[in-house]
Amino acid sequence: TSQADKTTDESRKSKTQQANKITSQDKANSESHAVKPSTSSANINGGDSVSQKSSTTTSNPPNVPLEKITVNMKVVARRKALSWHAGKVTEIITKEDGRVKYKVAFEEKGRALVSGHHIALAHQPKVSYLSTGARVVIETEDGEFMPGIVAEVPGRKNHMRFMVFTDDHTPVYIALPKIRLVCQPCKFKCL
């Protein structure tokens, strides 16, 4: 029986060593081969297809080139809190402390001196520039402009529309032509 015990112990050791070897190989393979997130549908056990999305949209926003604001450029600018209007940049002013301000003449009478993070481009942005967390201004059905943040990019579930949370905390589904990208979004929360 002692010979049988030795054989059993050796067999267990051999199996354990093989399992450890396989585990270390799997670990090395998983570290050397990055797993790419899938955006395709997968069929699990013959059931309904399941859609998977990459989390890179929220963690790594695209590198959006900042468009230079120039005199006579058409923009949408902040007039007062939660009130943005179409206008034109009439002057660029550099303050003593180095901050740049833009004087905007609004189409509907009035002027304002605003920072770059209170100016949105008057034209429609490229879809690739809009990711979750992007600072935007949306045009409502009434023709008014509301600032907000992109919460969801277009997909089949939202009928290919963007979901934007406006600054007054209202969720809005909106199509690309009604979105304007803020020129120089803040790195911190702006009020």
Mapping DSSP onto H, E and C, the string for the chain reads CHHHHHHHHHHHHHHHHHHHHHHHHHHHHHHHCCCCCCCCEEECCCCCEEECCCCHHHHCCCCCCCCCCCCCCEEEEEEECCEEEEEEEEEEEECCCCCEEEEEEECCCCEEEECHHHEEECCCCCHHHCCCCCEEEEECCCCCEEEEEEEECCCCCCCCCEEEEECCCCEEEECHHHEEEECCCCCCCCC
Tens-level pLDDT at each residue, the chain (191 residues): 555 555 556 655 555 555 444 444 444 443 433 333 333 334 344 444 344 444 444 444 556 666 789 999 999 999 988 889 999 999 999 999 989 999 999 998 899 999 999 999 999 999 989 999 999 999 999 999 999 999 999 999 999 999 999 999 999 999 999 999 998 887 655 54
- CATH for 65-181? 2.30.30.140
The predicted model scores a pTM of: 0.63
